[in-house]
Amino acid sequence: MPTINSTTNQRIFMKKILFFTPYGGRTGSEMLLWNIFKNLNFDKFEVAVYSDKIGSLKDELPANIPYYTSPFNTSGLSLFFRKLLTKSGYSVYEKNIIKIHQQFKPDYWYLNTNHSAHFSKLAQKLSVKFISHISEMPYLLYESVLATDIQAMLKAEMTICVSETGRQSFEIMGADTVKVLYPSIDLKSIIPSESNKSVLKTKLNISPDAYIWAMSGSLIYRKGIDYVPKIIRLMKQKNKSCYFIWMGGGTTNAAEYYFRKELAYYQCDNIILTGALETEYYDYFDLADAFLLPSHEETFGMVNVEAAYLGKPIITFNSGGVTEIIREGMGKVVESWNVEDLVEAMIDLMEGRISVNKEILRQRALDFDAPKMYLDWETLMDSLP
């Protein structure tokens, strides 16, 4: 549908895009979407959002973007009858998506993350063009998605991944049109409170001169929680005094249960697990002297950009996309996957044997600022017919 740009009087053909996302919450892949929405050129795009869940980001969606959700996000008799209809063979869930599609009449569906893979089959059934935006690394992808779903998802008009590491995996699987779009960070929202730092240290019972390592993410195996007790024990064996702060939400899984038990068993009393943080997240982050990324697998790792913007050097295993972020002067990537080598790199940083340039850290973070990265996304969308 053509519109007239009020500034240039040029005719612009507007694209209508219906976005699909799983939670509408503060996952990295969904924060990326919301950064797009906050910078969206409404002269060129009309968008709507479908989310299976009603997450905390719904309240941050621009008011002129419609938000749809699952028919099962209800209760009482309404939920009972919908479940009954589904059991009797009437697909309440699918009919809801079709109804939304018919109302909004999009040119494209935009499937965000592998958790939206199941929509690709419905898109093909309805002859709807779709875009796949996949943030996950190969093995996380393989374990959490049916082979038939990912095969369908890679039939998209365009498959967008978040790093060159991701591009390679999708090319291996036979995706036709693969593009890299690095994730974006809303850097203007990173405003730690200097006055809170001393208050937090007192609250956490950390001495003012203590060396602090920050870690972040859900308490799951992929994030490397299995490495953490050994890292803490090795530091103590080497008589290196430091604290660890893990910022991130908990789970109900047995892996986290074992992790907490292991910390207690080995008397790892110099680690603080903050749980999920919102308003105080960057205050806790800014307490740290350095950032540690022990993940087994990260397609990109936006938290590394946050660390860089705050001037925190990074020590990490080569978990994937992080190698596309780090430059000389920003820390060190440990290639060996040996915990002893990781700890030695940490000690080298603590003792000044790894040079750090805070200006390089800050400037590298600016490469991923949301308004800048939005323009890259817009260029990709403009390339579609």
Do residues 15 and 34 make contact, with C-beta atoms less than 8 angstroms apart?
no
Per-chain mean pLDDT for the chain: 91
Q: What count of other Cβ atoms lies within 10 Å of the Cβ of residue 189?
A: 11
| Secondary structure in 3-state letters for 88-115 | CCCCHHHHHHHHHHHHHCCCEEEEECHH
pLDDT at 3 over 60: no
Percent helix, strand and coil across the chain, each to the nearest 5: 45, 20, 40
pTM over 0.95: no
* Residue-wise pLDDT tens digits, 23-69: 998 888 899 999 999 999 999 999 999 999 998 899 999 999 999 99
Higher pLDDT, 310 or 71: 310
Residue 11 above 50 pLDDT?
A: no
Element (H, E) at 262: helix 254-265
The alpha-carbon radius of gyration of the chain (Å, integer) is 23
Q: pLDDT band at 80, cuts 50/70/90?
A: low
Q: Which of 26-35, 219-228, 284-293, 348-357 has the lowest mean pLDDT?
A: 26-35
Residue ranges of domains in the chain, CATH in brackets: 2-184+369-382 (3.40.50.2000), 187-366 (3.40.50.2000)
